[in-house]
Structure 1
Amino acid sequence: MVTTEPAADAARVPLIELIGIRRVYGGKSGDKSGSDDSPATEALRGISLSIAAGEFVAIMGQSGSGKSTLMHILGCLDRPSSGTYRFAGRDIAGFSADALAWLRREAFGFVFQGYHLIRTLDAQHNVEVPAVYAGTPLPEREERARALLERLGLAGRFGHRPGQLSGGQQQRVSIARALMNGGHIVLADEPTGALDSRSGAEVMALLKELADAGHTVILITHDRAVAGQARRIIEIRDGQVIADSGASACAAAPQLEPQAFAARMSEGVAHTASLWTDVREALASAWRTLGVNRFRTLLTLLGIVIGVASVIVMLAVGTGTQAKVAQKMALFGASRLYVVPGSDEARGVGGVLTQADVPIVQAVPNVAAAMPFLRGQATLRAGNADAAASIWAVTPDAPHILNWRPVRGQFYDWQDERRLSTVMLLGKKVRERLFGGEDAVGKYVLVNNVPFQVIGELEEKGAVSGDADDDDVVMMPFSTGSRRVLGKTSLSWISVLLDELSQASQTVDAITAQLQAAHHVRDFQVYNAAAAIQAQEDTQRTMTLMLGLIAAISLLVGGIGVMNIMLMTVKERTREIGIRMATGARQRDIQRQFLAEAVMVSLVGGGAGVAAGLAIGAALIAWDVPVIFSVRSIVGAFACAVATGLIFGFMPARQAARLDPVMALGSE
């Protein structure tokens, strides 16, 4: 083995110094886990050399000689299996992954044979990539990228993607990218291998200009004619240096002074762009990437859109139905108890409730109001129309206790109650049978041949249960109905309105105790309608929750779709990941990039889902379906969509961040 090192001033620290570098693939020595039993392949066999700042060096060798492996180690894309690599006098073996990424970003610029441009980005954004990871402000990096492209003859190609550029133009974009952060060391791997002779000559001329300007240029080639244009030639064969023409004089002051660079390395690694800047750049890049693959993005969005819209619509319908049921129940007395005569035992005694029992019930704590209620049947006549109707004899407390008020006219008052006034209010169906579509207020109706004046029409309520229909009733003062129409004073029941629904059970016990003490026997029953209504509301609430959970399943399926698409994306964009790492991206930058894409899909899908859900809800409202939108459910569905992107995007993003740079660059 022949090993030569360039003569250099002993007091001066070499920019790059390799001592006994070996690189083994396969086998236990080449596999970090020590579990690979495949035969070991030694790509580099004790390479030792030094490169000074400002040199123009060509590393020449045939395919399989190890020159590409050497370039990867020089550019900190790969680590040696053994040996020492000192950069600016510091051993990189102790560098963290972030420190190596900073070194690639600040010191190196890569020019690859296959150009390695990111296909989803245009020329300008490809050039800007290293500056993005360096945290360079947007206006500054845009200005520098355009200036570099103009300098390299691409002034009119800023917005062209790689597929719209020739090979020579793509290589010049690659060179501009290498210079974006200064390009102190340009590592060019077969830069003319994929170009025609004219484009190759132009690229070599650019590399010579860079060397003349003080850049350190390391050229990897198998072509002796290309290598001959460098100022120093190092030839390797079978992983060993077999010839070295020796150190060359720098044509200009070096772009990078090793000792000064080493001094600012520690501080540079510790200071990066702000989190907001990183997130903003990741989201902007994600938006551009998703915009290129529109059809795939649309398919990915579809699952999120359906999930969010389903959650919003189902919860809105459930809440609307629940509210409608609650409203209906409220009309029938959501906070009421009923005291009815008769024992609840099979052989119990019969009972009678009178008006004297009403004050007893009224005095019980938590009772807001108690009202005597007498019901019977009567025949009504208005002109030539007859109608049989249910007569409700109730006090003026009825609108408050029954939660039932007139839609036309007015309710009778206590003066009417005391005077046994012959006034009444008609239910909607009674009014229709007697007067058709006419307003009945102010007209007279005969009840058992007694003339009554209609002073109001009750609001529509609908059927309570079975054949009973609250719209087929007539209300009149209790005194009038009991004495002049129905002819009895014993009550059908006592209606009780509660202050606190939560204390209904205790109130039932208290009423039972008071009436039993007054009657000396339990000849009555207390029905807790509030408890039944509460159970109905709880059931409806459970159904709404179930609807929401069913809808959430579709959102979960959408999240799984996001993960699958992102995993596929990582596989398809492996080379892009390698390019980003070569230009200085840290693992967390890669992870943030792919996580941002997943979140971007979720954000857009969530927004579209909210819009779709609101549109569907509006259509349902137009079809008289009870729908109530909840801001909480809308915000919750949108937040769940974003969380879905974070959760299901994390694994693909983490997988992308853990890729090996060299393996990623070499993928197809």
Structure 2
Amino acid sequence: MHTPLIDLRQIRKAYGGDDSPLVEVLRGIDLSIHAGEFVAIVGASGSGKSTLMNILGCLDRPTSGEYLFAGENVAQLDSDELAWLRREAFGFVFQGYHLIPSGSAQENVEMPAIYAGTPAAERHARAHALLERLGLGTRTGNRPHQLSGGQQQRVSIARALMNGGHIILADEPTGALDSHSGAEVMSLLDELADQGHVVILITHDREVAQRAKRIIEIRDGLIISDSAEHACAPPAANPGALQAVDLRQRLSNGSSQTGAWKGELLDAVQAAWRVMWINRFRTALTLLGIVIGVASVVVMLAVGEGSKRQVMAQMGAFGSNIIYLSGSAPNPRTPEGIITLDDVAELSTLPQVERIMPVNGSTAGVRFGNADHSSYVGGNDTNFPQIFNWPVIQGSYFTQADEDSAAAVAVIGTKVRDKLLKDVADPIGQYILIENVPFQILGVLAEKGASSGDSDSDNRIAVPYSAASTRLFGSRNPQYVVIAAKDARKVKDAEQAIEQAMLRRHHGKKDFELTNNAAMIQAEARTQGTLSLMLGAIAAISLLVGGIGVMNIMLMTVRERTREIGIRMATGARQRDILRQFLTEALMLSVVGGIAGIGLALLVGGVLLLSGVAIAFQALAVIGAFACALVTGVIFGFMPARKAARLDPVTALTSE
């Protein structure tokens, strides 16, 4: 006795319950179908034949009863095993064709093989051969709307045969066709039955049903007649038919297969791109949030980084190894300490000190002709250009001889030149009045810019220390001392040595203060870094808005493509395949939006750069913004994708 391929025992199916009326569609179906049979299930609309087909094809589960497939109880199979069974054993031919509109005939036919893990070359060759065999060899690249009804039905038959199509479930396959196309489809089903395929034909047309070798009539959820009851034995198995024992073995081994993830991923990417292109206006509106978000983050961080680098460069131009020594009051009731030239002389002997320079300066009024200006005038020695890394771009710096003779000479900054001598072609040799004392200009310092705040380094005049002390300020003691440490990496060590020396000279009294450029630069960098992060955080809100847009469009996509999800499930897609499909689409939106956002950021950055705004793009910031866009797409796309994966196959297939 042959084991039936399909054995239904007291199958019942009811809908409703709880808050809605209970409707029993199938009321105890007993049915056995063997390998090689051509069966027609006939019944009027509402008789339960479509529900029976869905249960036979493992698209739906019965409320009660047993469904044995090749001797295996289907109720014990999980969702992945049912998906394997659908793609391995069944091939569906629907009245409405149920082809994916965005895919070509070839792509529609290949779908079951993609989920089965068939290699691409083998998949392409088999799909093309099936379409050629069914007379569609020249229509492989056509989409469903470019095919007639009969051609679309032949594509669905080719899809049903892609993985073997051992059992063809045809639901009203001629219902939407003209008589000629219908006859062609029935001839194909006859041919498949002769080749050993099990063909189960669901129809209300008795003339169509007569083509089958066995006719089962169903009414009100019960089988009322079965022509097999008059047969003495089940038909002899065709040599080409699938045997139950064979399928039972394959079921036990094959449900653990994972398929070819590369093929599935490529299909998901191609499908996602097609959907995006078909709905490109809607896609562009969705992408706008991500594009603006990514561009804002990249540009804001680039502006913040550019500003930070500019300030640090301006401050660093004075030397990161510079230490400043000045007098200070140990407490509010004591006078401020005095730094003397003797202190300077002793500090110059420390091994940690490379150069040292006393500065005696103050803001003073400066005049040239009828022009007046206020500038910082500093008495310095000849170490000034080396300590501050501040060259003279015009003329020359004063010499040690000028220092020794307290010569009334000056080197001016670019801002002083622009304010007082802008109409003078060559300022060298001209005389300016500093606090009504005439000084001759020897040179012009290179431009430095503002180091921080409102301070402008170029609004400065350097004169010999001796001349500043005797001719301008009347004091020999320096206002502060500038010290260049020998090693910029050991500024703290130099500070400690200087502090110890000063404490010895001042009898243990700390009436002085030490500061250094490195600390100032680090503090400024921290401030600018905090500002950059704040700007980036504000811009990241746009990414959040973009992510919400992705979620909205994906929810809309799932709703619009519910039938496509049902088709994919009917052809063997697992829940994780559907989840991957829609997550890939969300990811594709984010990838395209991220790339476009980076492009927009570079464009805006170029415009800002030409406008003179300090801007510095960082690879880490660009990659980070792009990665955030991807993560945003995945997070906000997950819920719609999970909703799609959890759809009921029957509900999805019957959706409008």
Structure 1 length-normalised TM: 0.88
CA offset digits 1:531-558 (Å, max 9, x no partner) = 5654443332211111100111100110
CA contact (8 A) 1:425 1:458 kept: no
2:16 aligned with 1:26: yes
Distance (whole Å) between structure 2 residues aligned to residue 389 and residue 114 of structure 1:
89
CA offset digits 1:192-231 (Å, max 9, x no partner) = 1111222211111111111112111100011111111111
For 2:114, which of 132, 144, 153 is the aligned residue?
132
Match of 2:506 in 1: 519
| 1:363–1:110 distance in 2 versus 1, CA, 3 Å | farther
For 2:242, which of 233, 237, 256 is the aligned residue?
256
Match of 2:207 in 1: 225
Match of 1:43 in 2: 25
What pairs up with 1:58-69 in 2 under 5 angstroms?
58-69=40-51
CA offset digits 1:65-92 (Å, max 9, x no partner) = 1111111111111112222211122222
Match of 1:3 in 2: none
Match of 2:594 in 1: 606
Match of 2:313 in 1: 327
RMSD: 3.3
What pairs up with 1:98-109 in 2 under 5 angstroms?
98-109=80-91
CA contact (8 A) 1:186 1:218 kept: yes
Secondary structure in structure 2 of the residue aligned to 1:193 = coil
Q: CA deviation at 1:453?
A: 7.2
Distance (whole Å) between structure 1 residues aligned to residue 249 and residue 292 of structure 2:
55
2:217 aligned with 1:235: yes
Match of 1:304 in 2: 290
Match of 1:405 in 2: 391
Q: CA deviation at 1:46?
A: 1.7
In structure 2, give the amino acid aligned to 1:428: T
Distance (whole Å) between structure 2 residues aligned to residue 342 and residue 93 of structure 1:
89
Q: CA deviation at 1:411?
A: 5.0
Where does the alignment leave 5 or more consecutive residues of structure 2 unmatched? none
In structure 1, give the amino acid aligned to 2:226: D
2:53 aligned with 1:71: yes
Q: CA deviation at 1:233?
A: 0.4
| 1:632–1:191 distance in 2 versus 1, CA, 3 Å | same
2:129 aligned with 1:147: yes
| 1:416–1:102 distance in 2 versus 1, CA, 3 Å | farther
CA contact (8 A) 1:55 1:250 kept: no
| 1:499–1:73 distance in 2 versus 1, CA, 3 Å | farther
Bigger shift: 524-533 or 305-314? 524-533
CA offset digits 1:506-530 (Å, max 9, x no partner) = 9878756653542348594426465
Q: CA deviation at 1:302?
A: 1.3
In structure 1, give the amino acid aligned to 2:4: P
CA contact (8 A) 1:426 1:458 kept: no
CA contact (8 A) 1:317 1:627 kept: yes
Match of 2:633 in 1: 645
CA contact (8 A) 1:309 1:610 kept: yes
For 2:269, which of 263, 280, 283 is the aligned residue?
283
Q: CA deviation at 1:377?
A: 7.8
Secondary structure in structure 2 of the residue aligned to 1:155 = coil
| 1:665–1:387 distance in 2 versus 1, CA, 3 Å | closer
For 2:580, which of 583, 592, 614 is the aligned residue?
592
For 1:659, which of 637, 647, 651 is the aligned residue?
647
Q: CA deviation at 1:277?
A: 3.4
CA contact (8 A) 2:40 2:212 kept: yes
Distance (whole Å) between structure 1 residues aligned to residue 5 and residue 168 of structure 2:
13
2:480 aligned with 1:493: yes
Match of 1:111 in 2: 93
Bigger shift: 220-229 or 408-417? 408-417
In structure 2, give the amino acid aligned to 1:113: Q
Distance (whole Å) between structure 2 residues aligned to residue 472 and residue 430 of structure 1:
6
Secondary structure in structure 2 of the residue aligned to 1:235 = strand
Secondary structure in structure 1 of the residue aligned to 2:334 = coil
Q: CA deviation at 1:661?
A: 0.5
Match of 2:342 in 1: 356
Q: CA deviation at 1:304?
A: 1.0
CA contact (8 A) 1:342 1:348 kept: no
CA contact (8 A) 1:213 1:251 kept: no
Q: CA deviation at 1:412?
A: 5.9
Q: CA deviation at 1:654?
A: 0.8
Match of 1:340 in 2: 326
What pairs up with 1:376-455 in 2 under 5 angstroms?
390-408=376-394, 424-432=410-418, 433-434=420-421, 436=423, 438=425, 443=429, 454=442
For 1:207, which of 174, 186, 189 is the aligned residue?
189
Match of 1:55 in 2: 37
Distance (whole Å) between structure 2 residues aligned to residue 60 and residue 279 of structure 1:
41
CA contact (8 A) 1:21 1:85 kept: yes
Secondary structure in structure 1 of the residue aligned to 2:340 = coil
CA offset digits 1:378-403 (Å, max 9, x no partner) = 89999999988654222343334434
In structure 1, give the amino acid aligned to 2:596: A
CA contact (8 A) 2:38 2:198 kept: yes
For 1:555, which of 543, 551, 566 is the aligned residue?
543
Match of 2:253 in 1: 267
Match of 1:190 in 2: 172
Q: CA deviation at 1:657?
A: 0.6
Distance (whole Å) between structure 2 residues aligned to residue 661 and residue 96 of structure 1:
14
Bigger shift: 224-233 or 82-91? 82-91
Where does the alignment leave 5 or more consecutive residues of structure 1 unmatched? 1-9, 28-35
Q: CA deviation at 1:272?
A: 2.8
Q: CA deviation at 1:93?
A: 1.7
For 2:562, which of 539, 553, 574 is the aligned residue?
574
Q: CA deviation at 1:319?
A: 1.3
Distance (whole Å) between structure 1 residues aligned to residue 367 and residue 59 of structure 2:
101
CA contact (8 A) 1:343 1:522 kept: no
Distance (whole Å) between structure 1 residues aligned to residue 486 and residue 531 of structure 2:
28
